[in-house]
Amino acid sequence: MPDLFTNCGGITSPNPFWLASAPPANSGAQIQRAFDAGWGGAVWKTLGQPIQNVSSRFGATNVRGVQGAGFNNIELITDRSLEINFAEIYDTKKKYPKHAVVVSLMVETKQEWKDLIKRSIDAGADGLELNFGCPHGMCERGMGSAVGQEPRVNQEITSWAVEFSSVPVLVKLTPNVSDIVPHGLAAKRGGAHGVSLINTIKSIIGVDIDRYVLEPRVAQLSTNGGYCGSAVKPIALHMVAALAREPKFGLPISGIGGISNWRDAVEFLLLGSSSLQVCTEVMLRGYRVVEDMIDGLEEYMRTHGFERLDQMIGKAIPSFSEWGNLDLNYETVAKIDADKCIGCHLCVVACHDGAHQCIHPVKDGKTRVPVIDESECVGCNLCKIVCPVDDCITMVQVDNGFAPSTWNEHVTQGKPLRPKKGAH
Ligand SMILES: Cc1cc2nc3c(=O)[nH]c(=O)nc-3n(C[C@H](O)[C@H](O)[C@H](O)COP(=O)(O)O)c2cc1C
Ligand code: SF4
Ligand code: SF4
């Protein structure tokens, strides 16, 4: 049985699955139910000076019948009293000593940071997460992403927290920056034990086209919110990987953003996350989603020969390089498995209008299986992406007789490139 135990910046948990700081981690009763369902840890809904929320406050994108492919909110931090939150943290930690209970914090002044950190630790927090990410409401009050977007402020507040804390400090980074690396490095300079990313992405989820008002609507107005859920996973993976491969960084990462199944979890682990946080998928489908995540991760580890998580964390990072290091002489073409093809011609349309016009219907009336003109196929993948049948189209490597050559090698050493296809 693979061991799912993890240690993220000194915060340990029986498995890497943590609730992200958000509505599913709003109270002790919820978090305790989540632990019973299998979650290994939770980051408490951000504590600070209690706020007043608006109604309504959530929105979602529905993409071709998939509800909630992306999710958006204009909610702020906890609206419950600090006294109640700390009493529930104490109760939860007492009942679940082996689970990770991380307290997320967002306040303004140095004294407030000192006070809340002391109260969090007194209540039994295993770690702290500094919320430098919220892209709405709190940033207008000088907190959240207003801190996360400014490396010097990030570093300074992180250093206060590290000074006041006797437990590990994770800095939760905002994705609303052009390059995440300087922000991760600022947290490191401040003394953080790790970082969590991503928080939500500044966004407008949609417009009520009959009322001419943005969504989610608050009377006759709305505002930008924070985007999350499955749709943001590629952005989150990129930011996690960018930090994980940065030689000057080297801190543990808690990966967040669009994790909705075990496969997503494996991807975040392979790109350097040592714990995984989930919000939207739990909001949409409940705590029970963790069961499949655990089963799937265990099965993946078994089939790939990993006994412990640390054997797989970061294993895909060396494959992330600059474009100039990719082999321009590596060549693939698409092949159709005629036995699997259902003759829908989605690939024909896609290649014809969106790629290189090299998949053709057979016009003899005997078959619906199209043919690929391999001499024109540029191996772009589009037909494989649109084909509705698993493994019906595969991309197969072609031996074109050219030795590998990257753009950088071509420019600096004059290495020859294969003739271009599809550029006529
Ligand atoms: C309704 C809602 C409220 C959130 N509240 C907080 C919060 O209080 N503190 C925080 O650090 N992040 C908050 N987040 C961000 C999540 O913790 C998480 O970073 C983000 O949703 C990405 O993860 P996901 O794609 O799994 O949802 C909130 C997200 C949502 C959807
Ligand atoms: S890989 Fe691209 S170019 Fe080749 S057949 Fe498919 S869509 Fe056309
Ligand atoms: S999309 Fe797939 S199933 Fe449909 S015709 Fe092309 S190869 Fe066959």
Give me the residue spans of the domains in the chain: 6-317, 323-413
347 lines ligand 3 (CB under 6 A): yes
Pair of tokens at residue 350: 């896609």
> Secondary structure of the chain in the HEC alphabet?
CCECCEEECCEEECCCEEECCCHHHCCHHHHHHHHHHCCCEEEEEEECCCCCCCCCCEEEEEECCEEEEEEEECCCCCCCCHHHHHHHHHHHHHHCCCCEEEEEECCCCHHHHHHHHHHHHHCCCCEEEEECCCCCCCHHHCCCHHHHCCHHHHHHHHHHHHHHCCCCEEEECCCCCCCCHHHHHHHHHCCCCEEEECCCEEECCEEECCCCEEECCECCECCCEEEECHHHHHHHHHHHHHHHCCCCCCCCEEEECCCCCHHHHHHHHHCCEEEEEECHHHHHHCCCHHHHHHHHHHHHHHHHCCCEHHHCCCCCHHHCCCHHHCECCCCEEEEECCCCCCCCCHHHHHHHHHCCCCEECCCCCCCCCCEECCCCCCCCCHHHHHCCCCCCEEEEECCCCCCCCEHHHHHHHCCCCCCCCCCC
387 lines ligand 3 (CB under 6 A): yes
Residue type at 414 in one-letter notation? G
293 lines ligand 2 (CB under 6 A): no
Beta bridge partners of 336: 393
Closest approach atom of ligand 3 to CA 345: 5
* Residue given tokens 């960018």 in the structure block: 242
Residue whose Cα lies nearest atom 3 of ligand 3: it is 341
71 lines ligand 1 (CB under 6 A): yes
Give dist(CA 272, CA 270) in Å, integer.
6
Beta bridge partners of 228: 71
Starting from the CA of residue 256, give the closest ligand. 1
Q: How far is the CA of 155 from the centre of ligand 1 (A)?
A: 22
Starting from the CA of residue 56, give the closest ligand. 1
Domain 6-317 sits in CATH at 3.20.20.70
Q: Are 275 and 16 in contact (CB under 8 A)?
A: yes
Residue 314, by phi and psi: left (phi above 0), alpha (psi -120 to 50) or beta?
Answer: left
Closest approach atom of ligand 3 to CA 348: 6
Q: At a CB cut-off of 8 Å and minimum separation 6, what does 12 contact?
A: 5, 6, 100, 126
Q: How far is the CA of 392 from the centre of ligand 1 (A)?
A: 38
269 lines ligand 2 (CB under 6 A): no
User: What is the best residue among 169, 228, 239, 261 to mutate for testing ligand 1's pocket, by most ligand atoms within 8 Å of CB?
Assistant: 228
User: What is the best residue among 341, 368, 381, 386 to mutate for testing ligand 3's pocket, by most ligand atoms within 8 Å of CB?
Assistant: 341
344 lines ligand 3 (CB under 6 A): yes
Residue whose Cα lies nearest atom 10 of ligand 1: it is 21
The answer to whether the 6-317 and 323-413 domains have the same CATH topology is no
Residue whose Cα lies nearest atom 29 of ligand 1: it is 22
Give dist(CA 37, CA 289) in Å, integer.
9
Q: Are 40 and 16 in contact (CB under 8 A)?
A: yes
Phi and psi (nearest 5°) for 371?
-115, 150
23 lines ligand 1 (CB under 6 A): yes
Q: Which residues are catalytic?
A: 134
104 lines ligand 1 (CB under 6 A): yes
Pair of tokens at residue 226: 């924070």
Topology of domain 323-413, per CATH?
Alpha-Beta Plaits (3.30.70)
Phi and psi (nearest 5°) for 93?
-65, -35
Q: Are 334 and 356 in contact (CB under 8 A)?
A: no
Starting from the CA of residue 396, give the closest ligand. 2
Closest approach atom of ligand 2 to CA 347: 7
What pLDDT does 140 receive?
Answer: 72
Using CA atoms of 261, 224, 187, 269 in order, give the dihedral in degrees to the nearest 10.
10
pLDDT in tens, the chain (424 residues): 899 999 999 999 999 999 999 999 999 999 999 999 999 999 999 999 888 999 999 999 999 999 999 999 999 999 999 999 999 999 999 999 999 999 999 999 999 999 999 999 999 999 999 999 777 777 777 777 778 899 999 999 999 999 999 999 999 999 999 999 999 999 999 999 999 999 999 999 999 999 999 999 999 999 999 999 999 999 999 999 999 999 999 999 999 999 999 999 999 999 999 999 999 999 999 999 999 999 999 999 999 999 999 999 999 999 999 999 999 999 999 999 999 999 999 999 999 999 999 999 999 999 999 999 999 999 999 999 999 999 999 999 999 999 999 999 999 999 999 999 877 6
Phi and psi (nearest 5°) for 256?
-140, 145
345 lines ligand 3 (CB under 6 A): yes
Give dist(CA 101, CA 93) in Å, integer.
7
Pair of tokens at residue 422: 């599809």
User: What is the best residue among 357, 383, 384, 394 to mutate for testing ligand 2's pocket, by most ligand atoms within 8 Å of CB?
Assistant: 383
170 lines ligand 3 (CB under 6 A): no
Give dist(CA 258, CA 69) in Å, integer.
9
What pLDDT does 376 receive?
Answer: 96
Pair of tokens at residue 253: 């990462």
389 lines ligand 3 (CB under 6 A): yes
Q: Between β-strands 41-47 and 17-19, what pairing exists: parallel, antiparallel or unpaired?
A: parallel
Q: Are 199 and 134 in contact (CB under 8 A)?
A: yes
Q: How far is the CA of 361 from the centre of ligand 3 (A)?
A: 10
What pLDDT does 50 receive?
Answer: 81
* Residue given tokens 């994770």 in the structure block: 170
Nearest to 278 by CA among 40, 33, 74: 40
Starting from the CA of residue 390, give the closest ligand. 3
Distance of CA 341 to the CA centre of its chain: 34
Closest approach atom of ligand 3 to CA 386: 1
pTM: 0.96
What pLDDT does 137 receive?
Answer: 72
Give dist(CA 176, CA 409) in Å, integer.
35
Q: How far is the CA of 421 from the centre of ligand 2 (A)?
A: 11
